Structure 1
Amino acid sequence: MDPKTSGYQYDQKGNKFRIKQLKTPQTQDAKLGHLHKHYAEHPSRGLTPAKLAGILQRAEQGDLIAQCELAEDMEEKDGHIFSELQKRRLCMKSVPWKIVPPRNPSAAEQRDTEMLQELFEDMTFFDQVLFDMSDAILKGFSNQEISWHQEEKIWLPQEIEFKDPSWFRVNPNNRNELMLRDHSETGEALQPFGWIRHVHKTKSGYVSRNGLARVLAWPYLFKNFSVRDLAEFLEIYGLPLRLGKYPTGASPDEKMTLLRAVMSIGHNAGGIIPKGMDIEFQNAASGGKDPFEYMVSLMEKTESKAILGGTLTSQADGKSSTNALGNVHNEVREELRDSDLMQLASTLTRDLVLPKYMLNCRSFEKPSRSPRFEFDITEAEDMKAFSESLPGLVGLGFRIPRSWGHNKLQIPEAKGDEEVLTLPGAAAENDNQEQKEAALKKQAITKIAALKQKSSTDVADLYSKQLADDMSPVLKNFTDEIQQLVDSAESWEDLQESLADLNLSVDEATEVMQQALVAAQLSGQHEVNEGN
């Protein structure tokens, strides 16, 4: 029974579900309404080492709320973390992608792959989907809900909406399975075909320990201690000490008046006190900002290493920041980008390409024959060096496929009658050659018709006779020129020199032979078509 007509469909694991469920997002269910009313508690406020350790421990036990909200706070409050994460996330949006068919595809699989490519290209919000998937780099996972609709019997995502990570928990029976937070102990399983579930592997371990947030939390905490201490130092110890003196027997009101004057005079640069009271300004406490700046700088370098694998693509200290080291660090960042893209491609193949393929394509037989989503992460070769080295390799006998050269240089191959680039002289020469070949074919066809009208004898004999007749004038011209040289030569040496200097034109003879060969080929094709 066809699942599309029976109302049922099968997911990637072979589990049956009702296809009408695709039209209703799972999170619109009334029993999950409490998730829409959840607001962050910002656990970064008053963060201490003990509090941070408790947050990380609860996440390991399945409660991801505080850890995900702390990651949000870190990205919002720490400009350095935000900047480095943006570099890693945004660089993936500019990489070209494509849908590729399975190995050794059939004609139907090739057609369906091309259709899927067009469907993906028409998704105007696809760039945002990629960006939201990369949020898993920090938090360890990213879930986006798919809302499906039908257009002329084709199932398409109407909307793909990013859902807050705090909506999810870990299944206590399977610590790598994310569930929606309902009021049960395990949570509710995610609906088949309804989610893009991206788990990003920054390190090995359970899903609750994958994200960079756990690595960045400690540098973030220590950096904020230093920033707070530096602010206090600049506010208090950078200013001179104000010391108020009140006379013996001063009343509590007089003491309070003096205290208010001392506290406000540093900010207002003025104040009044009763006669008999004194305010003295002592030298500011000794110290400096260097220890605080060193701690902040050290923690920011640690954050850069964790996110981008190095520091020289984000900051320079003027000492060790050479161009060579910068290039090495940039290569490390490219390796991280390529790894991120391969993980994104795997998730998109499973959660978006395969559902579209199963719902819309007739060539679907099993998930293992699904088309794949791929990013083109190959770097184009140096075109000048490539063009200089390839002719030498071909001359040595290397059999190099043309498609390999196109892939290396990132140059697409022309399809069908698509115009191609040519050299100006080569284009004119090609046009002349095509015109010449057309004229030869026309002359040959005319000769075939004339020969068949004259006689019913063997056509091959007629062609031989015709070729001999056409070549006689040409050969006679050759013999006449040579006869003149023989008659005028005074010695054998003179004849040899004259023959060496003789420049016989073979253009006419070449044209006659070309006509004969074309005529023979066309005649053979005609005989085969007639069944003779």
Structure 2
Amino acid sequence: MGNTCAPVGSALPPRRDQLITAADTAPVPSFSGYGDSIIVPQAKDRMRELIEREQLPTEMKATLAGSLTGDMQRQQLLFQAMIDTWPHLSKALREVKLAVRNAPWQVNAWAPRGKKPTAASEKLARFVEDSIWGMKPDMIKGLKGFEGTLEEITLGYFMGHYVGEIHWQKESIWMKAGGETEVEGHRWLPQCSKTLPPRFYGYPYWDQDEDRLMLDRTGGEGMHEAFEDFPEHRFLVGVNGAHSGHPTIAAPLRALTGYWMAAVYGLKWLMQYAQLFGVPFRWAEYEAGDPTAKAEIMAMMRRIGTEGWAAFPKGTKMEFLNEAGGGSSLVQRELLKLADEQCDIFILGQTLTSSQGDKGSQALGTVHMQVRQEILKGVCDFAGEVLTHQFAPSIVALNYGDRRKDIPGIWAKFEAPIDEQKLAERDNALGILSGKVPVAKAWFYERHKLPMPAEGEELLVPEPQPVPEPPKLGPDGQPVQPDEDEDDEVAEKDPEKVAASEASHLPAELKALLKRMEKAAAKGGIIDADAIADLMGAAWINSAKKDVD
């Protein structure tokens, strides 16, 4: 029989920092990882994303209606053209993306309501947190880190769909055994993500199965059988709708397509108007029947628009006619203003960034910022749902097996604004600052978001030290020592001090008996004199025995 050798280090116990015990632990699934990226767009494919930046109403109507067939490319390209040619829309979306990127994102360990997370849940949360913040972007290849992924999901919130492929990286876990370094195991970490162009996914309309978003690896080559379900742990998918209709026709940005046309054509018409009426009209009269004079005057009129000078025969009458209407009342200008205001209202929930309003700028600004904050929270919740229910489970499953209960959550936690002045006024009114209402020191520091100083730590304002009383001086100027008899006389003048002095010399049993008698008297109870006498005698005997011992 041949000898069988176990791998090096197999007899050693598993590393404690790599184990998480749970009741529902399952085997870690096999996974090929980052090396075989599913979608690799070619350089020449970017020409397929070309779309007309200026569309007629009939063309836009056909684009919006065609999305119902499940072809997401034309509609998504239309949204990209809107962002590309409408500065106000680009600015508003950029504000939201930056706000989501800088939101207070946290990875929270799972725990039942009202209970603290277990050590295993905390360990999973730390692992997921280290994984997502360890993602590295690659600007050359268009790969996104965690922050860039947040921006892409935010854009998908308004465009209706987001699909991003996760690129994983395999790392080895090393350990020392027998003086040598050996590989103990491996772990899969998300390296980056890449947003898919809309031609790589869609809704097949000829399929008899359940209607759902599916992957097309061919990139829209027209092959119906190319659609497939998204592979597990390889993609992040976000779908958002402005109403309850099918996602293909519920994308929020569809509501701004009409205003985009107003912005694009309003700017074009305004430029044409400026070309026509920006320079005053020129009017010249010449003698009838003189074709030579007419030709010379017409040539001079053409040159005067660009050269600023002219020379006419004597007797020629020349007039300049200014445009009568004012620039503030132009219809083209109103179209641009209306489109920008509707864009701000739709994306940010307010128009403060473009117009202040007539009155009450401070109050109006407060209301607008509150509305804007609520919209940002909604976008963050959309991104958090994708990350919590897709990204975090994939990270955990590829490293610890399929788990259902203790998956950590990835959410942006916004703290409610606190009026510090009102908080301090309330503390003072309740008597917390004066000590009338006693509270814990740690609670007070936490309430006002202040760090509690550690013991021995240098304080900004040192605590005041107690000032000792000056000694009494005699006639000769020397300190007088306190007399014990004098202290006794002072104590006799104060009944409370006398009672306290006497009680301090009583045995412990008699002290307990006195407390019981005081409580009974305070409650109006009846005290049995014989029982009290027996108890006092017993207490005195017990105390005497202790003294002898």
Fold conserved between structures, TM > 0.5? yes
TM-score, normalised via structure 1 length? 0.66
Q: Find out whether 1:377 has 2:414 as its counterpart.
A: yes
Which of 202, 209, 213 does residue 253 from structure 2 map onto? Answer: 213
TM-score, normalised via structure 2 length? 0.64
Contact 1:349–1:373 (8 Å) recurs in 2: yes
Q: Deviations over 1:152-172 (max 9, x none)?
A: 212112221223335433332
The answer for the alignment partner of 1:238 in structure 2 is 278
Contact 1:62–1:175 (8 Å) recurs in 2: no
The answer for the alignment partner of 2:5 in structure 1 is none
Contact 2:79–2:159 (8 Å) recurs in 1: yes
- Aligned pair count? 425
Contact 1:129–1:160 (8 Å) recurs in 2: yes
Q: Deviations over 1:468-520 (max 9, x none)?
A: xxxxxxxxxxxx859965xxxxxxxx9952666779999xx89xx9xxxxxxx
Q: Which has the higher contact order (CA 8 A, sep 6+)?
A: 2
The answer for the alignment partner of 1:269 in structure 2 is 308
Q: For residues 378 and 54 of structure 1, do their structure 2 counterparts lie closer, same or farther at Cα, with a shift above 3 Å needed?
A: same
Q: Find out whether 1:312 has 2:308 as its counterpart.
A: no
The structural deviation recorded for 1:212 is: 3.1
Q: Deviations over 1:351-410 (max 9, x none)?
A: 32111111113xx5533431111211122534454466469499999999988995x766
Query: Secondary structure of the residue that 2:350 maps to in structure 1?
Result: coil
Which one is further off, 417-426 or 160-169? Answer: 417-426
Which of 349, 353, 357 does residue 396 from structure 2 map onto? Answer: 357
Which of 110, 113, 116 does residue 122 from structure 2 map onto? Answer: 110
Q: Find out whether 1:160 has 2:205 as its counterpart.
A: no
Which of 320, 335, 360 does residue 374 from structure 2 map onto? Answer: 335
The structural deviation recorded for 1:121 is: 3.0
Contact 1:55–1:67 (8 Å) recurs in 2: yes
Query: Secondary structure of the residue that 1:191 maps to in structure 2?
Result: coil
Query: Secondary structure of the residue that 1:23 maps to in structure 2?
Result: coil
Contact 2:202–2:215 (8 Å) recurs in 1: yes
The CA RMSD over aligned residues, in Å, is 4.6
Which of 281, 293, 304 does residue 333 from structure 2 map onto? Answer: 293
Q: Find out whether 1:137 has 2:154 as its counterpart.
A: no
The amino acid that maps onto 1:288 is G
Counterparts of 2:451 and 2:130 in 1: how far apart (Å)?
18
Counterparts of 1:356 and 1:231 in 2: how far apart (Å)?
54
Q: For residues 386 and 286 of structure 1, do their structure 2 counterparts lie closer, same or farther at Cα, with a shift above 3 Å needed?
A: closer
Q: For residues 190 and 256 of structure 1, do their structure 2 counterparts lie closer, same or farther at Cα, with a shift above 3 Å needed?
A: farther
Q: For residues 107 and 287 of structure 1, do their structure 2 counterparts lie closer, same or farther at Cα, with a shift above 3 Å needed?
A: same
The amino acid that maps onto 1:109 is S
Query: Secondary structure of the residue that 2:166 maps to in structure 1?
Result: strand
The amino acid that maps onto 1:170 is Y
**Structure 1: stretches of 5+ with no match in the other structure:** 1-13, 430-479, 486-493, 514-532
Query: Secondary structure of the residue that 2:39 maps to in structure 1?
Result: helix
The answer for the alignment partner of 2:61 in structure 1 is 53
The structural deviation recorded for 1:418 is: 11
The amino acid that maps onto 1:337 is L
Counterparts of 1:240 and 1:322 in 2: how far apart (Å)?
40
The amino acid that maps onto 1:102 is W
The amino acid that maps onto 1:336 is I
The answer for the alignment partner of 1:119 in structure 2 is 131
Contact 2:396–2:407 (8 Å) recurs in 1: yes
Counterparts of 1:499 and 1:308 in 2: how far apart (Å)?
74
Contact 1:175–1:206 (8 Å) recurs in 2: no
Query: Secondary structure of the residue that 2:213 maps to in structure 1?
Result: strand
Contact 2:106–2:410 (8 Å) recurs in 1: yes
For residues 2-151 of structure 1, what are the structure 2 equivalents within 5 Å? 19-20=31-32, 22-28=34-40, 36-45=45-54, 47-104=55-112, 105-124=117-136, 125-151=145-171
Q: For residues 398 and 61 of structure 1, do their structure 2 counterparts lie closer, same or farther at Cα, with a shift above 3 Å needed?
A: farther
Q: For residues 229 and 418 of structure 1, do their structure 2 counterparts lie closer, same or farther at Cα, with a shift above 3 Å needed?
A: farther
Q: For residues 370 and 55 of structure 1, do their structure 2 counterparts lie closer, same or farther at Cα, with a shift above 3 Å needed?
A: same
The structural deviation recorded for 1:270 is: 5.0
Counterparts of 2:45 and 2:362 in 1: how far apart (Å)?
50
The structural deviation recorded for 1:331 is: 0.7
Contact 2:388–2:409 (8 Å) recurs in 1: yes
The amino acid that maps onto 1:308 is L
Contact 1:212–1:307 (8 Å) recurs in 2: no
Contact 1:313–1:329 (8 Å) recurs in 2: no
For residues 113-512 of structure 1, what are the structure 2 equivalents within 5 Å? 113-124=125-136, 125-152=145-172, 153-172=186-205, 173=207, 176-180=212-216, 181-183=219-221, 184-185=223-224, 187-242=227-282, 262-269=301-308, 281=319, 283-289=321-327, 290-291=329-330, 292-317=332-357, 319-320=358-359, 322-361=361-400, 364-383=401-420, 385-386=422-423, 389=426, 392=430, 406=446, 485=489, 496-497=492-493
Contact 1:24–1:147 (8 Å) recurs in 2: no
The amino acid that maps onto 2:381 is M
Q: Deviations over 1:21-57 (max 9, x none)?
A: 55311113xxx75983444323322x22222111111
**Structure 2: stretches of 5+ with no match in the other structure:** 1-25, 137-144, 173-185, 467-483, 509-549
Counterparts of 1:221 and 1:80 in 2: how far apart (Å)?
13
Q: Deviations over 1:437-490 (max 9, x none)?
A: xxxxxxxxxxxxxxxxxxxxxxxxxxxxxxxxxxxxxxxxxxx859965xxxxx
Contact 2:85–2:264 (8 Å) recurs in 1: no
Query: Secondary structure of the residue that 2:152 maps to in structure 1?
Result: helix
Contact 2:76–2:198 (8 Å) recurs in 1: yes
Query: Secondary structure of the residue that 1:198 maps to in structure 2?
Result: strand
The structural deviation recorded for 1:76 is: 2.0
| Percent of matched pairs sharing the same residue | 17
Query: Secondary structure of the residue that 1:157 maps to in structure 2?
Result: strand
Contact 2:349–2:372 (8 Å) recurs in 1: yes
The amino acid that maps onto 1:324 is A
Q: For residues 182 and 501 of structure 1, do their structure 2 counterparts lie closer, same or farther at Cα, with a shift above 3 Å needed?
A: closer
Counterparts of 1:263 and 1:365 in 2: how far apart (Å)?
80
Counterparts of 1:210 and 1:404 in 2: how far apart (Å)?
49
Instruction: Indicate the structure with greater helix content.
Output: 1
Q: For residues 136 and 320 of structure 1, do their structure 2 counterparts lie closer, same or farther at Cα, with a shift above 3 Å needed?
A: farther
Counterparts of 1:384 and 1:40 in 2: how far apart (Å)?
55
Contact 1:71–1:138 (8 Å) recurs in 2: no
Query: Secondary structure of the residue that 1:127 maps to in structure 2?
Result: helix
